[in-house]
Amino acid sequence: MSKGKSVFRCTECGADQPKWGGRCDACGAWNSLVEEALLNRRIGGSADRQVPSDHPPIRLSDISGGQVDRWRTGLAEFDFVLGGGIVPGSVTLVGGEPGIGKSTLLMQCAARLESQGVSTLYVSGEESPDQLRLRADRLEEDAGRIHVLGETRLEAILHHAAQLKSSVVLLDSVQTTYTDELEGAPGNVGQVRECAARLMRFAKESGPAVLLVGHVTKGGGIAGPKTLEHIVDTVLYFEGETTLDHRILRAVKNRFGSVDEIGVFRMTGTGLEPVANPAAAFLAGRTTGASGSAVTALMEGTRPMLVEIQALASKAGFGTPQRVATGLDHRRLALLLAVLERRGGLPFGNLDVFVNVTGGVRLIEPSTDLAILAALVSTVHDRPVPADALFLGEVGLGGEIRPVAGVERRLAEAARQGFRRVYLSARSRGTSDELEVIGLEGIGELTRRLAA
Ligand code: TYD
Ligand code: MG
């Protein structure tokens, strides 16, 4: 094939265009077209040529089993997020910012799998085997049995994986891997997509599970075309503040389990450690008895998590008072302040307001409104809310308090963590034997009760 033949491929949707342009015709994204060399081989052929298949169609009822076998790594939070362990023949992409702990996580998984007799091959295009050894030495797990390979060429990687008959292949990272069959540098859209597709085929045909590390872009997505996430079975994001100990592993796609489940880890001197009581992980370090603090329960997948919201209102200097929200949308804060002012009669006009969600958590659910209000009321009056109180409720523009979903589970978790009373919507149907339930119609009632 003649050299230099190329197409322009959209980094957003993966569509091919014969000519460069400022905008992708397929998805409308701007500045997303990059030049890419075409495949050296020809795919397909005449469409109506009949090719016998090794796998003829079978009836679903003739397929045995139902329960998928899984390899449990024993790293409890990792197994939980995957839905019970690694599924043979599956491809899992683990994305995250540099330094968050992706390589550490994969190395620990490999070590734990080896200790159960599951053979692993750890391929790194980012670190040399010597550097891998240094990392392994820090870990609590014994990583000695893992096969390591410093290689970036996909053909060589697949060859070694097949030779070793590895049950689990860990590849760090998909952006450093390239195939001979495409021109173009590792990490470009075509390379990443082709490598992922070939690994997927390898996993489905030969049966090993593949874990891929993927880098994230500044926007927070995994670098490469969005199609990369479509190709693989499972996509996990590893998040957290590198300056804090906590790390959250979040499933955003999972063909073998539920999505939006999270696992919580702590980065220690000997690797990642699953947090034993994830529901209360973000409450650690809470000082009770201070004003401006309130606790709520979020749903993360099927698990409730308790988080603390802190507010501080102080007299503003000259000019427009400041509104600073960390871990929640500043527009949500503005709305809640307006509601408190108009419906609750608390003036914020000359106060600077700071609201902070502890532990680096981001609030997305409106069910956290009531806790934000409680923290604000508490700081204005400089009166702590009861330390054993939980706040659950969405607040409307009329100052009404609305029920939230999944109350039972949130209350059960709060009771387990030692909470004794809960403020929620009077219309909420959740009850609890262990908690005193305080139903509120509107925020007037909240301010009255917190002031009493
Ligand atoms: P790493 O797994 O290399 O992150 P990534 O592959 O996502 O880029 O590790 C990130 C950080 O974790 C690194 O700064 C060192 C630190 N670390 C520990 O604190 N304890 C340990 O046991 C290990 C192995 C790493
Ligand atoms: Mg790494």
Angle between helices 443-451 and 369-381 (to 10 degrees): 40
- The CA-atom distances, in angstroms, between 390 and each of 101, 149, 197, 307 are 33, 51, 47, 10
Residue 221 lies in a domain: yes
pLDDT range class, residue 209, cuts 50, 70, 90:
very high
Are 243 and 301 found together in one domain?
Answer: no
Are 255 and 306 found together in one domain?
Answer: no
- The CA-atom distances, in angstroms, between 280 and each of 186, 267, 298, 414 are 42, 17, 11, 9
Task: Please give the tally of structural domains in the chain.
Answer: 3
The tokens for 452 are 């009493």
With residue 331 as reference, give the H or E element that holds it. helix 330-344
Angle at 285 between CA 281 and CA 290, to 5 degrees: 125
Cβ of residue 100 lying under 6 Å from some atom of ligand 1: yes
Residues 19-34, mean pLDDT to the nearest whole number: 85
pLDDT range class, residue 25, cuts 50, 70, 90:
confident
Are 232 and 342 found together in one domain?
Answer: no
Residues 126-136, mean pLDDT to the nearest whole number: 94
Are 348 and 238 found together in one domain?
Answer: no
Residue 96 CA, closest ligand 1 atom number: 7
Residue 190 lies in a domain: yes
Nearest ligand, CA of residue 174?
A: 2
Are 259 and 324 found together in one domain?
Answer: no
Are 227 and 345 found together in one domain?
Answer: no
What is residue 67's predicted lDDT score, i.e. its pLDDT? 63
**Contact status, residue 122 vs residue 147, Cβ threshold 8 Å:** yes
List, in order, residues 6 or more apart from 267 with CB less than 8 Å away. 101, 104, 245, 247, 273
Ligand 1 pocket test, pick from 100, 103, 104, 173 with the greatest ligand atom count within 8 Å of Cβ, gives: 104
Residue 63 lies in a domain: no
Query: Average per-residue pLDDT in the chain?
Result: 89
Going from the Cα of 141 to the center of ligand 1, the distance in angstroms, rounded, reads 15
- The CA-atom distances, in angstroms, between 355 and each of 86, 321, 332, 363, 405 are 40, 14, 11, 12, 24
* HSE of 140, CA atoms in CB hemisphere, 13 A: 11
Cα 99 from Cα 153, distance rounded (Å): 24
What is residue 49's predicted lDDT score, i.e. its pLDDT? 63
CATH classification at residue 441: 3.30.230.10
Q: Check whether 2 has a pLDDT greater than 50.
A: no
The tokens for 111 are 């070590």
DSSP assigned state of 119: -
Cα 90 from Cα 204, distance rounded (Å): 7
For residue 364, which of 435, 433, 439, 296 has the smallest C-alpha distance?
Answer: 296
pLDDT range class, residue 1, cuts 50, 70, 90:
very low
Cβ of residue 104 lying under 6 Å from some atom of ligand 1: yes
State which of 220, 248, 276 marks the end of a domain: 276
**Contact status, residue 227 vs residue 195, Cβ threshold 8 Å:** no
**Contact status, residue 215 vs residue 95, Cβ threshold 8 Å:** yes
Are 262 and 385 found together in one domain?
Answer: no
Residue 362 lies in a domain: yes
Nearest ligand, CA of residue 105?
A: 1
Residue 126 CA, closest ligand 1 atom number: 6
For residue 81, which of 92, 96, 97 has the smallest C-alpha distance?
Answer: 92
Which 3 state secondary structure label does DSSP give 145?
coil
29 versus 441: the higher-pLDDT residue is 441
Residue 208 lies in a domain: yes
Residue 331 lies in a domain: yes
What is residue 69's predicted lDDT score, i.e. its pLDDT? 84
The rounded radius of gyration (Å) of the Cα atoms in the chain is 26
Cβ of residue 153 lying under 6 Å from some atom of ligand 1: no
Residues 350-355, mean pLDDT to the nearest whole number: 96
Are 30 and 147 found together in one domain?
Answer: no
* Residue count (the chain): 452
State which of 221, 249, 276 marks the end of a domain: 276
What is residue 353's predicted lDDT score, i.e. its pLDDT? 97
Are 218 and 330 found together in one domain?
Answer: no
Cα 107 from Cα 113, distance rounded (Å): 10
The tokens for 408 are 């039972």
Cβ of residue 120 lying under 6 Å from some atom of ligand 1: no
pTM of the model: 0.81
Which 3 state secondary structure label does DSSP give 224?
coil
Going from the Cα of 214 to the center of ligand 2, the distance in angstroms, rounded, reads 9
39-56 pLDDT, tens digit per residue, is 655 444 455 567 777 778
For residue 108, which of 83, 152, 74, 84 has the smallest C-alpha distance?
Answer: 74
Are 147 and 43 found together in one domain?
Answer: no
312-321 pLDDT, tens digit per residue, is 999 988 888 9
Residues 131-138, mean pLDDT to the nearest whole number: 95
Which 3 state secondary structure label does DSSP give 280?
helix
CA 5 to chain CA centroid, Å, is 39
Q: Check whether 298 has a pLDDT greater than 60.
A: yes
Are 362 and 261 found together in one domain?
Answer: no
Residue 58 lies in a domain: no
CATH classification at residue 262: 3.40.50.300
Going from the Cα of 446 to the center of ligand 1, the distance in angstroms, rounded, reads 45
Residue 59 lies in a domain: no
For residue 407, which of 388, 395, 386, 390 has the smallest C-alpha distance?
Answer: 390
Cα 362 from Cα 353, distance rounded (Å): 18
65 versus 417: the higher-pLDDT residue is 417
Cβ of residue 215 lying under 6 Å from some atom of ligand 1: no
With residue 211 as reference, give the H or E element that holds it. strand 209-215
Are 255 and 222 found together in one domain?
Answer: yes
For the chain, helix, strand, coil in percent to 5 are: 30, 30, 45
Which 3 state secondary structure label does DSSP give 306?
strand
Residue 213 CA, closest ligand 1 atom number: 6
Range of the domain at 10: 2-48
Residues lining ion ligand 2 (Cβ < 5 A) are: 103
